[in-house]
């Protein structure tokens, strides 16, 4: 009889053969990769053995087998193709490359086990994918493959954040070892029942363990919180364990109690320990038969529905209100290279590590950073409690971890990095490629976002605290918001390492079981540091980021180089930001030294688990400097210095900078020529107004300005490109995108960061003399970087302090900073109550303090405390810093610091008079403007002025002074937006137009654009002039209300509603007028300061320059593409007249002096053809000989409408 045709069976067999071949190919490639990367076999040995293989090696040394492998066994005519890793091992053994000994036999068995497990997993993956596609493909939008997958996972029961669903999509196992799918000790049937890649879900059982037979550790006791300082709960580990279970699963806990009662047992005498069902069925009866008989341990029937995560022995278990825990259990099964039990020591270590990290984070503002909705950017595992059976070596224990999904926003998705490399069951592509495709972004932009989320906190822990977390792809959970990495969770600290010497610098220590190897005990600091670095560098860079880049680049060498360039840039900027000796050395080692690759196969051959072995490998972050161009291209030292630094450290940036340099030179030259014409002076004239001019110094400043302007444009353009890609649809306005991503305070800072051009008319607009190129990248706002504010303690008798003092205000907001500084002083043998804290700019801390305060530092009068820092963002002024993390009152603080750097035209230290007058002036202005609710002054709350007993020079006084201000976000209501007025003329990365144009367009919509523009400028001028003119006319106060010192508040519809004023050091006050207005001028701390002794002409000049020429003029110019400037100035003139009418109408008949002064100023403002504007170029060339006098030049008055 002819055989019956069974096409279905044949198709299934063909599918199975294809999956088997795929599994063999995958394991074979991993075997070759391990042999070559770990230097177990040299390529020449393959050739001698008649093995022909073609490989590609990535920049980080990741080996890929390019073509089939062939072997000819000494006879080239008898060539066979090798597809099976076991057959490949046979060939290696035949050739004598590997030995037929116990270690290789064990390795062979593990590889065979791994192969069989992978075949089974691939079969399950195919079946699950077919089922998912049949159910959901008709609902999916192929334009959004990642979002469609999230929807599918959510609908089949993985929850709205889909973490467990993504965990269970990981099928292939560890990519760097052929034993990546080992499951020794678990049958194929049990694997299908319990393995995450099979989409399993089952009941997690419990064993009741006699309380006196349990060791327990509390992960929450004594935990320091930035809100409550000390957690009031003081429990035993058992209490904490029971409380965590009961909080999440009260019904199940009650069932477990009833089971014990029904057995005649007292529930309070036992601890119920979650146990893996495979462990309960297999290991527990064998290992703990005696305890079972004694009823020291009692298996219970009640269970919790659990999804196994990719580690096999950790479960996501949801409970009340869909909140839950991740429960790590012991599993007597070898997975990859180790049996996955939990020893008592490991159970103790996890909560202790969590407590240590929580304590560190509670005192470190870098690690407290949050997103726009107040959620932490970095979230380490929180092991709430752990228990272990004392009689068990490692087989009966559990660790309860907080589930990261408990505190996620509705629009966030969590997934382990390892799942990014998994195949989507809907498309068959890697999930990462589907995600990047859906976003419509580039690989570089997405990788940068991930790197900026993942790398800084890990490097902070490494360099600052001597803690290497182990953020490999399985331990790293990325939280995506709209597809972009926004936050990071690191879990499982069993592979972490701690260098006690670095931790001790912060007065911290931890007791961990020495047998677990977490604490580095090397007698050599050099060796200990090398171990510490390797434990972070390999998991994060050699594994995690290397696999991301491998997936994104898809063997495209050019793209791979570009992606590693992205990583290099983030590493280098993080090192510059941290700035400490340890950080710079760590980063240098990461960028320049050979990478230490973990030898997973070698460790298996040696039977090593915790004794880790490494081998040197290529470093993809190492770069060769760019060859310099022809000598004629670079003609000044500033450019040469910038080129040398960028070519050696930031080669990608260097090429972009070179392209921008000619345009920057032209811009500065045009500004220079315009200034000469405006001020009526000739280039290189020997004297101006009888004062000797210093043109050589000006030349240096202009060269520096052009050099930095080119860099600023590069940085802002890059950030603009990245921002536009992240924003998605290009028809959205800049502010709407900012609102999606940032808090109100951060929006203001982001707009500062997008200002590449600086001062609108000053040719020295980007001068930063004394800043090195590295300093510009580390500290300038256009870099968009975090700045590490440094804490210095100064003896109180050397300071002039405000009331309250800076330390007082700081303690109200960041008490842990005060506490850390006090502890640091005590460690140095100092009495904290004799010192006051000062926040110092990091440039000043590293460069200036050791030079000009050397004597005070040597004698302990000034005590730098480098281990205590406040993470900040720089405002447009560079030297004013805003804390990134809110304090315990939910507010940020703003610190105006001294930096001995010439920015634009002035060295940005702070005079005693400015510091001492600051809080008084801000309070005065607030009171004087209290009748105008649309105007607010940013309060200056505290000040510090250095006043040394000896050598009390101006530079030494000015270099260690500071002012503390409120954050601008404290002055707005929900739904409002603050824009630094300088941001109005900043170009939007969305449209390329000034931001104010986008704002007006959003207001206009379908209305008349000219009318809307006129309304906008009228409202803006009304706010500005309603603040500035009455203060001038009634009180003789001329605000320095230029764009940088004013902030505009917009309502939700983008209408201007209020104006904020800040930084009053540059205003001018006529004391006679102020006294005449009824103010007690004897209360002014420094009445003889330059700002307080202005005559009527000086305050007139200050007003016209600041308000008219450097505020209203640039805004009108920015709007000129929409409406003729002359029409806008008509609107502003009308507004001036209305303010004048209201002011004079409200005057009493006795205010004759005020009225006369107002009349005269109004006349000059509106009826004279010219007004005074600062002669900025003249001031620069005469600065040295004139003592910094202000010079003015007369310019056309835009408010004048009479005959010319």
pLDDT of residue 74: 65
Q: Helix axis angle, 912-928 relative to 1009-1035, nearest 10°? A: 110
Residues 963, 802: contact at Cβ < 8 Å?
A: no
Question: pTM here?
Answer: 0.92
Local structure of residue 313 (DSSP, 8 states): S
**N- to C-terminal Cα separation, the chain:** 115
Other Cβ atoms closer than 10 A to 134? 9
Other Cβ atoms closer than 10 A to 201? 16
Give the chain's radius of gyration (CA, Å): 34
If residue 835 lies in a helix (H) or strand (E), which one and from where to where? strand 835-840
Q: Helix axis angle, 525-536 relative to 443-465, nearest 10°? A: 150
Other Cβ atoms closer than 10 A to 245? 27
Percentage above 90 pLDDT, the chain: 77
Asked if pLDDT for residue 851 goes beyond 90, the answer is yes
Q: Is 1063 left (phi over 0), alpha (psi -120 to 50) or beta?
A: left
In tens, the pLDDT along 1025-1049 reads: 999 999 999 999 999 999 999 999 9
Mean per-residue pLDDT over the chain, rounded: 92
Lowest mean pLDDT among 44-58, 424-438, 525-539: 44-58
If residue 527 lies in a helix (H) or strand (E), which one and from where to where? helix 525-536
The CATH number that domain 975-1167 falls under is 1.10.510.40
99/168 Cα distance (integer angstroms):
37
Which segments of the chain belong to CATH 1.10.510.40?
A: 140-169+409-621, 975-1167
Other Cβ atoms closer than 10 A to 1121? 10
Which 3 state secondary structure label does DSSP give 580? coil
What would the mean pLDDT of 240-262 be, rounded to a whole number? 96
pLDDT of residue 233: 40
In tens, the pLDDT along 142-152 reads: 889 999 999 99
Asked if pLDDT for residue 865 goes beyond 90, the answer is yes
545/528 Cα distance (integer angstroms):
24
What would the mean pLDDT of 530-548 be, rounded to a whole number? 95
CATH class held by domain 7-133? alpha beta
If you average pLDDT over each of 271-280, 337-346, 512-521, which comes out highest? 271-280
Asked if pLDDT for residue 555 goes beyond 90, the answer is no
List, as one string, the DSSP characters of 928-957.
HTTT-TTEEE--EEEEEEE--SSS--HHHH
Which segments of the chain belong to CATH 3.30.310?
A: 7-133
CATH number of this structure's domain 140-169+409-621, picked from the four choices 1.10.510.40, 3.40.50.180, 1.10.260.40, 3.20.20.70: 1.10.510.40
392/379 Cα distance (integer angstroms):
32
In tens, the pLDDT along 214-242 reads: 999 999 854 433 333 334 344 589 999 99
pLDDT of residue 10: 78
Asked if pLDDT for residue 1146 goes beyond 70, the answer is yes
Residue 632 pLDDT grade (very low, low, confident, very high; cuts 50, 70, 90): low
Residues 393, 346: contact at Cβ < 8 Å?
A: no
CA dihedral 19, 24, 26, 31 (to 10 degrees): 170
What would the mean pLDDT of 1192-1201 be, rounded to a whole number? 95
pLDDT of residue 232: 38
Asked if pLDDT for residue 466 goes beyond 60, the answer is yes
Q: CA dist 497 to 436, 467, 520, 534, 628, Å?
A: 34, 6, 6, 10, 42
Q: Which residues 6+ apart lie within 8 Å of 633 measured at CB? A: none
Burial of 883 (0-12, 13-18, 19+ CB in 10 A): buried
What would the mean pLDDT of 315-321 be, rounded to a whole number? 92
Which 3 state secondary structure label does DSSP give 617? strand
Of residues 949 and 165, more confidently modeled: 165
In tens, the pLDDT along 354-377 reads: 999 999 999 999 999 998 888 999
Buried b or exposed e, range 662-681, using 16+ CB within 10 angstroms: eebbebbeebbeebbebbeb
Asked if pLDDT for residue 1204 goes beyond 70, the answer is no
Residue 922 pLDDT grade (very low, low, confident, very high; cuts 50, 70, 90): very high
pLDDT of residue 912: 87
Buried b or exposed e, range 953-977, using 16+ CB within 10 angstroms: eeebbbbbbbbbbbbbbbbbeeeeb
Peptide bond into 904 cis (omega under 30): no
Asked if pLDDT for residue 584 goes beyond 50, the answer is yes
List, as one string, the DSSP characters of 994-1026.
BHHHHHHHHHHTTS-HHHHHHHHHHHHHHHHHH
Q: Which two tokens stand for residue 462?
A: 């490494």
404/323 Cα distance (integer angstroms):
10
Which 3 state secondary structure label does DSSP give 894? strand
In tens, the pLDDT along 414-446 reads: 999 999 999 999 999 999 999 999 999 999 999
In tens, the pLDDT along 658-708 reads: 999 999 999 999 999 999 999 999 988 888 888 898 999 999 999 999 999
Nearest residue to 437 via CA among 147, 144, 150: 144
């Amino acid at each position: 009889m002819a055989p019956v045709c069974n096409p279905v069976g044949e198709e299934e067999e063909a599918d199975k053969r294809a999956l088997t071949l795929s599994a063999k190919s995958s394991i074979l490639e991993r075997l070759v990769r391990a042999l070559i990367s770990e230097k177990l076999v040299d390529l020449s040995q393959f050739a001698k053995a008649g093995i022909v293989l073609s490989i590609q090696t990535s920049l980080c040394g990741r080996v890929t087998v390019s073509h089939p492998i062939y072997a000819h066994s000494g006879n080239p005519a008898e060539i066979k193709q090798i597809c099976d890793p076991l057959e490949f091992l046979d060939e290696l053994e035949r050739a004598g490359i590997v030995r037929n000994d116990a270690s290789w036999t064990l390795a062979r068995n593990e590889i065979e086990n791994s192969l069989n497990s992978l075949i089974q997993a691939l079969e399950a993956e195919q079946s699950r994918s077919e089922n998912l596609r049949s159910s959901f493909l008709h609902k999916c939008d192929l334009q959004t493959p990642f979002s469609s997958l999230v929807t599918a996972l959510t609908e089949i029961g993985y929850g709205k954040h889909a973490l467990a669903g993504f965990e269970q999509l990981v099928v292939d196992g560890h990519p760097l070892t052929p034993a990546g799918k080992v499951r020794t000790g678990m049958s194929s049937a049990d694997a299908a029942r319990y393995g995450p890649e099979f989409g399993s879900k089952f009941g997690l059982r419990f064993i009741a363990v006699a309380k006196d037979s349990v060791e327990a550790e509390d992960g929450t006791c004594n935990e320091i919180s930035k809100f409550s300082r000390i957690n009031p709960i003081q429990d035993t580990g058992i209490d904490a364990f029971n409380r965590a279970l009961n909080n999440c699963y009260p019904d199940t806990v009650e069932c477990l109690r009833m089971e014990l009662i029904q057995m005649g047992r007292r529930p309070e005498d036992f601890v119920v320990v979650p146990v893996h069902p495979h462990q309960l069925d297999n290991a527990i009866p064998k290992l703990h038969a005696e305890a079972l008989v004694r009823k020291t341990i009692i298996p219970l029937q009640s269970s919790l529905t659990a999804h196994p995560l990719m580690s096999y022995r950790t479960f996501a278990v949801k409970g009340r209100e869909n909140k839950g825990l991740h429960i790590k259990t012991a599993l007597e099964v070898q997975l990859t290279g180790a049996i996955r039990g939990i020893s008592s020591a490991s159970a103790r270590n996890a909560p202790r590590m969590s407590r240590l990290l929580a304590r560190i984070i509670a005192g470190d503002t870098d690690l407290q950073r949050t997103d726009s909705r107040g959620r932490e950017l970095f979230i380490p595992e929180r092991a709430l409690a752990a228990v272990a059976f004392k009689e068990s070596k490692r087989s009966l224990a559990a660790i309860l971890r907080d589930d990261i999904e408990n505190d996620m926003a509705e629009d966030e998705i969590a997934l382990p990095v390892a799942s990014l490399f998994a195949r989507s069951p809907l498309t068959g592509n890697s999930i990462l490629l589907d995600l990047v495709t859906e976003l419509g972004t580039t690989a570089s932009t997405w990788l940068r976002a991930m790197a900026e989320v993942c790398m800084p906190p890990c490097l902070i822990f490494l360099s600052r605290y001597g803690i290497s977390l182990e953020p490999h792809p399985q331990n790293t959970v990325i939280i995506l918001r709209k597809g972009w990495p926004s936050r990071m969770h690191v879990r499982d600290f069993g592979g972490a390492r701690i260098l006690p010497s670095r931790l001790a610098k912060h007065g911290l220590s931890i007791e961990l079981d020495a047998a677990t190897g977490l604490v580095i005990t090397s007698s050599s600091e050099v060796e200990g540091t090398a171990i510490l670095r390797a434990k972070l560098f390999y998991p994060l860079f050699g594994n995690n980021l290397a696999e991301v880049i491998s997936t994104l680049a898809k063997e495209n060498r050019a793209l791979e180089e570009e992606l590693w360039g992205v990583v290099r840039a983030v590493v280098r900027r993080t090192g510059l930001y941290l700035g400490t000796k340890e950080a710079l050395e760590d980063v240098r080692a990461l960028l320049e030294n050979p990478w230490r690759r973990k030898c997973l196969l070698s460790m298996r051959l040696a039977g090593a688990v915790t004794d880790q072995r490494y081998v040197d490998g290529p470093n993809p972050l190492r770069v060769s400097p760019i060859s310099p161009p022809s000598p004629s291209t670079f003609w000044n030292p500033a450019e040469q210095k910038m080129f040398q630094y960028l070519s050696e450290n930031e080669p990608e940036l260097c090429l972009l900078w070179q392209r921008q340099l000619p345009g920057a030179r032209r811009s500065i030259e045009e500004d220079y020529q315009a200034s000469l014409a405006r001020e009526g002076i000739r280039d290189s004239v020997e004297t101006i107004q009888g004062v000797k001019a210093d043109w050589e110094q000006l030349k240096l400043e202009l060269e520096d300005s052009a050099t930095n302007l080119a860099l600023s444009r590069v940085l802002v353009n890059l950030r603009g490109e990245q921002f536009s890609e992240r924003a998605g649809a290009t028809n959205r306005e800049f502010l709407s995108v900012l609102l999606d991503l940032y808090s109100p305070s951060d929006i203001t800072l982001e707009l500062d960061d997008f200002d590449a051009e600086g001062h609108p008319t000053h040719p020295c607009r980007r001068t930063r003399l004394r800043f090195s190129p590295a300093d510009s990248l580390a500290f300038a706002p256009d870099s968009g970087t975090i700045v590490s504010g440094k804490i210095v303690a100064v003896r109180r008798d050397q300071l002039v302090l405000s009331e309250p003092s800076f330390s007082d205000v700081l303690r109200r907001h960041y008490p842990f900073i005060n506490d850390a500084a006090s502890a640091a002083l005590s460690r140095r043998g100092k009495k904290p109550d004799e010192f006051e804290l000062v926040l110092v700019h990091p440039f000043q801390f590293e460069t200036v303090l050791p030079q000009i305060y050397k004597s005070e530092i040597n004698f302990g009068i000034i005590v730098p405390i480098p281990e205590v820092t406040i993470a900040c963002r720089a405002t447009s002024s560079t030297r004013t810093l805003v804390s990134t993390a809110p304090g315990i009152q939910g507010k940020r603080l703003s610190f105006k610091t001294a930096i001995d750097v010439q920015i634009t035209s002035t060295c940005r230290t702070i005079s005693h008079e400015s510091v001492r007058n600051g809080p008084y002036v801000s309070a005065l202005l607030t009171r004087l403007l209290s009748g105008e609710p649309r105007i607010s002054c940013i309060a200056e709350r505290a000040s510090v002025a250095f006043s040394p007993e000896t050598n009390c020079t101006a530079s030494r006084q000015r270099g260690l002074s500071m002012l503390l201000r409120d954050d601008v976000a404290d002055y707005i209501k929900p739904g409002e937006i603050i824009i630094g007025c300088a941001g109005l003329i900043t170009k939007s990365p969305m449209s390329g137009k000034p931001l104010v144009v986008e704002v007006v367009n959003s207001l206009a919509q379908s209305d008349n654009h000219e009318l809307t523009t006129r309304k906008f400028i009228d409202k803006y001028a009304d706010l500005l002039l309603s603040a500035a003119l009455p203060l001038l006319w009634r009180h003789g106060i001329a605000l320095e209300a230029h764009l940088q010192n004013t902030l505009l508040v917009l309502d939700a519809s983008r209408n201007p509603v209020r104006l904020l004023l800040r930084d009053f050091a540059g205003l001018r006050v006529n004391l006679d007028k102020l006294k005449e207005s009824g103010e007690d001028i004897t209360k002014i701390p420094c009445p003889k300061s330059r700002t307080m002794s202005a005559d009527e002409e000086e305050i007139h000049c200050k007003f016209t320059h600041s308000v008219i020429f450097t505020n209203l003029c640039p805004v009108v110019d920015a709007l000129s593409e929409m409406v003729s400037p002359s029409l806008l100035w008509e609107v502003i003139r009308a507004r001036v007249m209305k303010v004048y009418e209201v002011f004079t109408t409200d005057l009493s008949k006795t205010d004759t002096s005020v009225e006369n002064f107002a009349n005269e100023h109004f006349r000059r403002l509106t009826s004279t053809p010219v007004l005074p504007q600062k002669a900025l170029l003249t001031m620069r060339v005469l600065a040295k000989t004139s003592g910094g006098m202000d010079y003015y030049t007369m310019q056309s008055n835009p408010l004048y409408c009479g005959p010319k």
